[in-house]
């Protein structure tokens, strides 16, 4: 683990778990359907895949996120503040997820519990290319 990544892990209050799930990020002019890479009770890392980062995804921005639970297909609606940009995605800190949040907190807890118990689903390998 790199020194910088280790420092980030030490600052976290909640353990992160790898999770392959779909997330819709709502923008002013367009919504993006992306992949969640990992999740905790406090935040998540969203993978941009091959798309260039839209200018409206930037540190400090508050985004509306709809996370699809990979097993139940329930939608978990949360707000997240972009706290860090990475080479292939961005990290968000969940906002307004407190004991009073009720259903959203229960759904988020269930998602984190699911991620902590099951290894993330991996897509099948690509077939080999011919000559």
Q: What is the mean pLDDT of the chain?
A: 79
Convert the pLDDT of each residue in 92-110 to its tens digit: 999 876 544 556 667 777 7
Q: Are 120 and 20 in contact (CB under 8 A)?
A: yes
Please report the domains of the chain, with CATH numbers, ordered by start residue.
Answer: 10-117 (2.40.10.220)
pTM above threshold 0.85 = no
Spatial separation of the C-alpha atoms in residues 20 and 7, rounded to whole Å: 24
Spatial separation of the C-alpha atoms in residues 108 and 82, rounded to whole Å: 18
Convert the pLDDT of each residue in 40-83 to its tens digit: 888 999 999 999 989 999 999 999 999 988 888 888 889 999 99
Spatial separation of the C-alpha atoms in residues 62 and 34, rounded to whole Å: 17
């Amino acid at each position: 683990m790199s020194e910088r990544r280790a420092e980030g892990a030490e600052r976290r209050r909640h353990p992160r778990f790898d999770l392959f799930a779909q997330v819709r990020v709502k923008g002013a002019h367009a919504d993006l359907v992306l992949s969640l890479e990992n999740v905790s009770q406090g935040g998540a890392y969203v993978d941009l895949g091959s798309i260039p980062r839209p200018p409206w995804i930037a540190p400090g921005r508050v985004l509306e996120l709809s996370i699809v639970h990979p097993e139940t297909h329930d939608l978990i609606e949360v707000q997240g503040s972009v706290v860090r940009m990475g080479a292939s995605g961005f990290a968000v800190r969940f906002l307004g997820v407190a004991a009073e949040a009720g259903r959203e907190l229960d759904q988020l807890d269930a998602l984190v519990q699911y991620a902590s118990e099951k290894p993330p689903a991996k897509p099948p390998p690509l077939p080999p290319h011919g000559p």
